[in-house]
Structure 1
Amino acid sequence: MDRVVLSLANPPSVHAGSDRCPGVIAVHRAEDGGLARIRVPGGTLPSAALLAIAGWARELGNGRLELTGRANLQLRGLAPGAELVLTERLREHGLLPSTAHDRARNVLASPLSGRDGLGALDVRPLVAELDRRLCASPELADLPGRFLFAFDDGRGDVAGQRADVAVLALPDQRVALLLAGQDTRLRLPVADAVTGVLVAASAFLRRRPDVGVWRVAELPGGPSPLVDDVRAELGGIIGVEVSVPERDPIGPVGRIEQSDGRVALAASVPLGELTPARCQVLATVAAREVVLTPWRGVVLPDLEPPALAAAKRRLTAAGLVLDGCSPAVGVSACTGRPGCAKALADVRADASVAAGRAAGTATGALDMPALPVHWSGCERRCGRPIGDVVDVVAEGDGYRVERAGRLVYAGSDLNAVRSAAASARTER
C-alpha cells in the first residue's frame, strides 16, 4: 500500500492548556462583558433566525452582532447569566442541536454551492450530514473550539482556508481529502466523504498527545497518520496531487446568476458588523435564508430578478457593499479597545473610515479586488485572515503597517496609516 507523507515546514507550537474558544455554553469574559459565539454550520441561517438573534443581542448584550472569519456569529456585552437565556432560545430555534457539541460545529462550505452551477458537487447535503453525525458522537464533543471542517464544492473558494479536515469535490464524483490545508492524495467516493471526515477527526483526538494540541497542523507526526487511519477504515485510492487553491481574498460580492433563473446578491459587511438595521434589511430582502461567508459577508440566494433593483437600494442604504472593487471590501479588525484589555487602540474606530462605515458607504473605487487589510490592537492579531494580508498593528504611539513581513509605514498619523495600507493592498 502506498504511504502518503505530509509534512509541515514550521509546525506551530503546542499551546498551554485546553482550548478556551468561546461558545454559548461557555462564554468568554471580555472587558465589555460576555462574548458568545454561535456556530452556523455551512453558514446557512433562516432569515427569521438572523432577526431573532439580532434582537437577543440588544436584549441580552450591548447590541453588537458580529460576523467571524468562520462564518459564525458572535454577541458581545452579555451580562453574567445571560448565556443561559441565549442557550435556551437557540435550542428552541433548532440552532443548538447538542449542547455538548456547541464548540465543535465549525463547518465552512462553498456559499453558492448548488445554486450557480459552478461547482462539481452540491455540498449542502454533506454539511447537514456532518452536523447530524457529529452531534450524535459523544467522542467528537471533545474537539477543540478552533478545529475546523470545510466542504469545497470544487470551485476552490474555501479549500484555501486551511481547515483541519476538508474535502474538495472533483469532477469524477470523488472528493479529495485535505488535512491542515494540504492534499493527502486520498480520493473517496462522495458517499464516503462525511465518513472520511469524521474518521480523520476521531483519529486526531486519539493521536494528539495532550489537550494543548488544538489543530491537525500541530500534531507531532503531522497529518500523515490520519490518512492511514482513513484508508484503513474506508480504503480509497491514491490519486495525482491537486494544487490546493490559495485563500480567496474577498469572496463573492455583487449579483450572481443562479442556474434556476433566479439571482443571488452577495454583500460585504463592513468590519463584519451586523447592526440591528442591517439585520432587519437582510431579513426583509431575503427570500427564505441568508448564507454567512468566511469573508464577513452575506449571500441572499433565490431572489426573483424583478425584485433585484429594490433589494440593491435597500442593502446599500444600510451600508452593505455590493461592489467587489469597493475599498470597504476586505477590511477587517479585531475587537480592540474598550472590549479587549490587551488592545492598545480602538482599532475598529480607526479602521472604520477605511471600511467606509463612517460615511455609511465606501467612497472611491479600486481598479480590481485588492488584498485584505486587517487592523490589530496588539501583536496577537486576533481575527486575522490567513494568506497574503496587509497588517495594521497598534503600537504604543501609533500603528505599524506591514505586508509579507515588510515594514511599509510606522507612525501616529492616522491618515498616513490609512494611505499606506491602501497603497500596500493594491501592490502587485
Structure 2
Amino acid sequence: MPPDKAGIIPRLYPSTGSPVNPTPAVNTLRPSACPGLLRIVQALDGGICRIKLAGGSITAAQAIAVADAAQAYAGGVIEATNRANLQIRGIGTEQDALIALLLAADLGPNNAGGDDVRNLMLSPSAGIDPQMLFDTRPLAEQILATLQNHPRFHELSAKFAVQLDGCEALAMLEHHHDVWLSAFERDGETLLAFGLAGCPGLDAPCAAVPLEQGHALVVAVLELFLDLATPTQTRMRHLAVDNLLSRLNLPLLPVDGFKRPVSGAGLHLGTYPQRQKDLFYVGAVAPLGRLDSTMLKGVAQLASAFGDGTLRFTPWQGVLLPNVKKPAAVTEGLQRLGFLCSVDQPLARLIACTGSSGCGKGLADTKADALQLAALQPGTEVHLSGCPRSCAAAHTAPVTLLAVSPGHYDVYFREAAEPGFGRLHARTLSIEAAGALLRARSRSNTDD
C-alpha cells in the first residue's frame, strides 16, 4: 500500500482492513542510525527493516507475513537478532509496500513515535518455564504500552533498553540493559530487584520493590532519566546512578537475599519440559542468525501443526516453539528446514555479524569465514566481528575474532578483569591459524 498524498501510510487491522492510527511515512521520523519498522536504513546490500517483537513472540500468520515481505520486496534475507527481534535485509525501492504489509499484520507500533522505544527483553520461556517465579508477560505488556503511548518516552534513544527477568532457567543474563528488573523471593514474597546500566547475571542490584510496583518503578526511572540527562547523555551508563536513585520518589526495599541463579547452559537448543503438564518447548538456532523465507514459513507451519500457533525468537539468534506435545516431530522438521538443534553442532556455537558483504564498516566477510571456522571444529563459542562495534553480540563471548583485514583476525579471550572483548592473545591470524589455536586451547583448557 503506497502512502497517500499527505505522506501517511494507513495502518490496517488485518481482520477488517479498516484504517486506524495513521502512521507517518519513513522520512518524517526522527534521524537515527538504527533501523526500525518505519525507518529503513541503507547498507551495502540494500535497506534494513527491524521488526521489534513483543517479548520475542510472533504468531505463525505474522511470521508468514514477514517471509512474504522479504520475498516480495527485499532480497529474501531475514535475520534473527540478539535482542530477539527480526530484520529484513536487501530492501529495494518498494519499501513503502513492505512497511504497509508488515503494519497490516499488526507487527508495528500503535503510533509512529513508539516504534523506536519498544525495547523490552523477556526470557524466551516466559510463562512456561518451570523455574519462573511469575509470568512476566502481563507486566511486560503494561510496560510496552506505556513506552509506546507516553509521548515523552519517545525521546529515549532507539538503543535504550529494559529487561524483565522472572528468574526463568532459560534467560540471557549477559546482555547489558539501561534498566533491568529481576524477580526473587524473600519471606514468601516475590520482589523485583532492579539495576541500572547492567544486567542481572553480572551486576549487583540497586534496590528492590514489591512485584506490584514494577510498572511504577520503570515509569519513575525513565522520567527521572529524561529529567537529568543532557542531549549527549543517551544511555543510563552516562548518568551517575546515585544521583538518580536519591531522587526516586518510590519506597525502595533492601536486596538482602537476592542472588540470580545461573541460567541453564544450552537450554535454547533442544527439547525441554514446560511448567504445564505434558507440554514441551523446542529450541533451535538459525545458522549465523540467518533465515530465508522458506525457513520462516516452515517454522510457522510447524508452530501451527504441533504447537499453539506462536513462535518466540531468542537472544541467541534462534527460535523457540512453545506448547508442543510431539517434540520429536518438531525437531525433525526444524532440522529439515536447516535450523541447528544441538550444541554439538559447531556452527550453533558461532556468532558472526553481517561483515563486508553487507556492511561498509566490515573489514572481513565474517559470515563466510565463520562457515570455514565451523568446519575446523573450534570447540568453543566464538564471535566473529567485522569491526569493533560488535553488532552481532551484546555480550562478551568466550572467544572473539576481531577482523583486521579480509580473512585475518585478532584473537581475544574473555577475562573478567579485562574490558571490551577481553585479553588480546594473538594478532592477524588467518582462519586456519585461529582454528588450530582454538582446537589446541579446547583440548588443554576447560576454563573460559
1:42-81 alignment to 2 at 5 Å? 42-80=55-93
Displacement after TM superposition at 1:207 (Å): 1.3
| Pairing partner for 2:103 from 76, 81, 91 | 91
Displacement after TM superposition at 1:247 (Å): 7.9
TM-score (norm 1): 0.85
| Pairing partner for 2:270 from 248, 254, 260 | 254
Structure 1, unmatched stretches of 5+, are: 1-16, 357-362
Q: Which residue of 1 aligns with 2:5?
A: none
Decide whether the 8 Å contact of 2:129 with 2:168 is kept in 1.
no
1:353-392 alignment to 2 at 5 Å? 353-355=372-374, 370=380, 372-392=381-401
Q: Which residue of 1 aligns with 2:143?
A: 130
Q: Tell me, in whole angstroms, the C-alpha distance in 1 between the residues paired with 2:261 and 2:397.
A: 13
1:315-342 C-alpha deviation (Å, 9 max, x unpaired): 1122212223332223111111221112
Q: Name the amino acid aligned to 2:411.
A: V
Does 1:284 find its partner at 2:293? Answer: no
Q: Which residue of 2 aligns with 1:318?
A: 337
Q: Which residue of 2 aligns with 1:177?
A: 194
Which structure has more relative contact order (CA 8 Å, sep 6+)? It is 1
Does 1:345 find its partner at 2:358? Answer: no
Q: Tell me, in whole angstroms, the C-alpha distance in 1 between the residues paired with 2:106 and 2:75.
A: 24
1:15-164 alignment to 2 at 5 Å? 20-80=33-93, 82=95, 84-96=96-108, 97-155=110-168, 157-164=171-178
Decide whether the 8 Å contact of 2:193 with 2:207 is kept in 1.
yes
1:186-201 alignment to 2 at 5 Å? 186-201=207-222
Decide whether the 8 Å contact of 1:118 with 1:155 is kept in 2.
yes
Quick check: 152-161 or 241-250, which moved more? 241-250
Displacement after TM superposition at 1:86 (Å): 3.0
Displacement after TM superposition at 1:217 (Å): 1.0
Displacement after TM superposition at 1:126 (Å): 1.4
Decide whether the 8 Å contact of 2:67 with 2:294 is kept in 1.
no
Decide whether the 8 Å contact of 1:409 with 1:420 is kept in 2.
no
Q: Tell me, in whole angstroms, the C-alpha distance in 2 between the residues paired with 1:164 and 1:272.
A: 24
Q: Tell me, in whole angstroms, the C-alpha distance in 2 between the residues paired with 1:205 and 1:20.
A: 21
- Tell me the SS of whatever aligns to 1:204: helix
Q: Which residue of 2 aligns with 1:414?
A: 431
Quick check: 88-97 or 172-181, which moved more? 88-97
Does 1:238 find its partner at 2:268? Answer: no
Decide whether the 8 Å contact of 2:208 with 2:255 is kept in 1.
yes
- Tell me the SS of whatever aligns to 2:347: coil
Change over 3 Å in CA distance of 1:183–1:60 after alignment to 2: same
TM-score (norm 2): 0.81
Change over 3 Å in CA distance of 1:133–1:381 after alignment to 2: closer
Decide whether the 8 Å contact of 1:289 with 1:300 is kept in 2.
yes
Change over 3 Å in CA distance of 1:169–1:422 after alignment to 2: farther
| Pairing partner for 1:215 from 235, 243, 254 | 235
Decide whether the 8 Å contact of 1:247 with 1:386 is kept in 2.
no
Decide whether the 8 Å contact of 1:185 with 1:242 is kept in 2.
no
Structure 2, unmatched stretches of 5+, are: 1-29, 415-421
Decide whether the 8 Å contact of 1:69 with 1:383 is kept in 2.
yes
Decide whether the 8 Å contact of 1:57 with 1:75 is kept in 2.
yes
Report the count of equivalent residues: 394
Displacement after TM superposition at 1:420 (Å): 2.9
Q: Which residue of 2 aligns with 1:13?
A: none
Displacement after TM superposition at 1:251 (Å): 5.2
Change over 3 Å in CA distance of 1:249–1:31 after alignment to 2: farther
Decide whether the 8 Å contact of 1:149 with 1:164 is kept in 2.
yes
Q: Tell me, in whole angstroms, the C-alpha distance in 2 between the residues paired with 1:113 and 1:408.
A: 39
**C-alpha root-mean-square deviation of aligned residues, in Å?**
2.5
